[in-house]
């Protein structure tokens, strides 16, 4: 077997696939290498929920047999990966990050796991998460069965919620890629804080069968990886129609970088306040330089505003109503008291009091939001904004938002919110988003998010890929 150096752990999917294909090492050897690293370093960042070493090695042996027989299954064949612990793995605990479910076991794999297995992916671990994916609103990063997610760039900082383990594991080189989920920011935030590339797909593009439900009409499953190109390869594998998920869009995704439009043909909306007044001072130079890179690549940056809606209030009305229904039995049984965060306990209890009239009004406003965004994308190809306004917050500090609140924008001058509500708006409208690192502030990563019309993932990936050919922020790695 080849000598293992640190570069291996930060390789892209095509790079690892080429080394397996050239017989530099086998899929089984690669699975063992990553299992060792996961078990050794995962606890350092509170990101490992469960090692799946034995099942990974068994799967990798099958992959090696296929390769010897000339049976190729695509670029993910033999590549180890891990999933957020809200996705089921047959016969193994799926804890949802919460004590009441610590011994919960399903007898089937989640749809995304099934699809990745079908193309030769090697599931190596379950990864930590904020309990119940943050349902109810939590006050402290430690709201998890596994403790606060710690950032590989600085373990005094948070790795972000609720897909904390997925982002940290990829950032630390513990797996080449991971799956996480987003209801309102849980892919965008941890990817931004940990300096990895991640994709929130269009609502319904990836089946949620076998995933914990938080909000049936908001939840989405997406990849964390080394690059935009890697995200495209993963999304192609996990997307597609699934009758077991009532929210399935009935569509598949095919990654087609060869047909990408040049950036000079794209009109990308942005709000200047996002990069000056709203951004934290330490992060402003990185954001401004990132915009310059896109302009130099030929992108037409056009000042724009989000349609005027109470995004936060609408999202919380929908989320709280659906969450209360999902966890009604947990709340009624009293087991909700076993959760780690008192604010989250209170938020879950309060969710049972949401009025049906409020929920229905919020859903009607949501439809108006979707309609207005369709109009907005009639004149723009994408929107761009900071992933978060600055670097990761401290892991031991209380979150600045009141219990139950979604991420809120930082104050902006003259009442201009910029794109501060883009996370909430994008999730309400079911829009895809790509987040990728664009620099550093105070020694920690910061990132951009690019949002597009439904099913515009190839366009977003082309923007990210062009940015990453012109910069190397996605290749930077923490000292772990």
Q: Which pLDDT tens digit goes with each residue over 300-315?
A: 999 999 999 999 999 9
Is residue 297 assigned to a domain? yes
**Measured on CA atoms in the order 14, 57, 119, 48, is the torsion positive or negative?**
negative
Is residue 225 assigned to a domain? yes
Write down the pLDDT at residue 1.
54
Write down the pLDDT at residue 412.
46
Is residue 353 assigned to a domain? no
- 99: pLDDT confidence band, cut at 50, 70 and 90? very high
The C-alpha torsion from 396 through 398 and 401 to 402, rounded to 10°, is 150
- The pLDDT of residue 373 is above 90: yes
Report, as residue numbers or ranges, the catalytic residues.
84, 162, 186
- The pLDDT of residue 477 is above 50: yes
Beta strand 267-270 pairing with 197-200? unpaired
Is residue 93 assigned to a domain? yes
Q: Which pLDDT tens digit goes with each residue over 331-357?
A: 999 999 999 999 999 999 999 999 999
Write down the pLDDT at residue 5.
86
Q: Give the end of a domain, one of 212, 240, 257.
A: 257
Write down the pLDDT at residue 413.
46
Burial 248-257 (b: 16+ CB within 10 A, else e): bbeeebebee
Is residue 157 assigned to a domain? yes
Do 243 and 150 reside in the same domain of the chain?
yes
Provide the CB-side half-sphere exposure for 363 (13 A, CA). Answer: 15
Specify the residue for token string 């890629």: 177
Q: Which domain holds residue 187?
A: 8-257
Do 164 and 288 reside in the same domain of the chain?
no
The one-character DSSP state at 105 is B
- The pTM assigned to this predicted structure is 0.96
**Measured on CA atoms in the order 62, 48, 447, 155, is the torsion positive or negative?**
negative
Do 294 and 248 reside in the same domain of the chain?
no
Give Dmax (Cα) for the chain.
66
Task: Tell me the average pLDDT across 357-385.
Answer: 98
Q: Find the angle CA(292)-CA(297)-CA(299) to the nearest 5 degrees.
A: 80
- 402: pLDDT confidence band, cut at 50, 70 and 90? very low
- 436: pLDDT confidence band, cut at 50, 70 and 90? very high
Percent pLDDT > 90 in the chain is 95
| Number of domains forming the structure of the chain | 2
Is residue 25 assigned to a domain? yes
Residue 479 corresponds to which tokens in the numbers above?
């000292």
- Non-local (6+) Cβ contacts of 317 within 8 A are 354, 358, 359, 361, 362
Burial 147-167 (b: 16+ CB within 10 A, else e): bbbbbbbbbebbbbbbbbbbb
Question: Of all helices (H) and strands (E), which one includes residue 28?
Answer: helix 27-41
Write down the pLDDT at residue 82.
99
The one-character DSSP state at 411 is P
Nearest to residue 228, comparing CAs of 453, 457, 10, 385?
457
Do 245 and 300 reside in the same domain of the chain?
no
Is residue 334 assigned to a domain? no
Q: Which CATH number goes with the domain that contains 13? A: 3.90.1300.10
């Amino acid at each position: 077997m080849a000598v293992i150096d640190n570069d291996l752990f930060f390789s892209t999917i095509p790079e690892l696939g080429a080394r397996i294909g050239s017989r530099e090492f086998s899929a089984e050897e690669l699975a063992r290498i990553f299992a060792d690293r996961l078990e050794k370093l995962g606890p350092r960042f509170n990101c490992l929920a469960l090692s799946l070493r034995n099942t990974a090695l068994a799967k990798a042996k099958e992959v090696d047999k296929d390769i010897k027989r000339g049976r190729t299954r695509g670029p993910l064949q033999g590549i180890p990966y891990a999933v957020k612990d809200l996705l089921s793995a047959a016969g193994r605990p799926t804890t949802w990050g919460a004590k009441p479910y610590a011994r919960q076991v399903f007898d089937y794999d989640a749809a995304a796991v099934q699809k990745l297995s079908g193309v030769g992916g090697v599931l190596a671990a379950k990864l930590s998460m904020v309990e119940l994916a943050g349902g109810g609103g939590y006050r402290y990063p430690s709201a998890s069965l596994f403790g606060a997610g710690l950032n590989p760039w600085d373990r005094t900082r948070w790795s972000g919620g609720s897909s904390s383990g997925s982002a940290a594991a990829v950032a630390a080189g513990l797996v080449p890629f991971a799956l996480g989920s987003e209801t309102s920011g849980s892919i965008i935030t941890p990817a931004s804080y940990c300096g990895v590339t991640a994709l929130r797909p269009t609502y319904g593009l990836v089946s949620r069968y076998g995933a914990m439900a938080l909000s049936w009409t908001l939840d989405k499953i997406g990849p964390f990886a080394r690059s935009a190109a890697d995200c495209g390869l993963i999304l192609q594998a996990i997307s597609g129609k699934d009758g077991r998920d009532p929210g399935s869009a009935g569509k598949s995704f095919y990654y087609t970088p060869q047909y990408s439009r040049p950036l000079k043909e794209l009109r990308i909306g942005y709000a200047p306040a996002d990069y000056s007044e709203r951004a934290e001072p330490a992060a402003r130079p990185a954001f401004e330089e990132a915009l310059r890179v896109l302009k130099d690549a030929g992108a037409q940056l056009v000042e724009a505003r989000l349609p005027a809606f109470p995004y936060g209030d609408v999202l919380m009305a929908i989320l709280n109503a659906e969450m209360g229904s999902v966890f009604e039995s947990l709340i009624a049984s009293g087991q909700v008291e076993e959760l780690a965060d008192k604010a989250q306990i209170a938020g879950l209890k309060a969710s049972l009091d949401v009025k049906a009239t409020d929920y229905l009004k919020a859903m009607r406003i949501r439809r108006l939001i979707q309609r207005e965004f369709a109009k907005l994308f009639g004149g723009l190809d994408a929107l761009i904004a900071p992933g978060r306004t600055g670097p990761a917050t401290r892991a031991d500090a209380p979150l600045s938002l009141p219990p139950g609140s979604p991420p809120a924008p930082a104050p902006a001058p003259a009442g201009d919110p910029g794109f501060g509500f883009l996370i909430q708006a994008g999730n309400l409208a079911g829009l895809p988003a790509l987040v990728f690192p664009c620099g550093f502030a105070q020694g920690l990563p910061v990132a951009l998010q690019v949002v597009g019309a439904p099913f515009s993932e190839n366009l977003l990936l082309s923007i990210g890929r062009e940015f990453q050919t012109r910069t190397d922020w996605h290749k930077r790695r923490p000292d772990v």
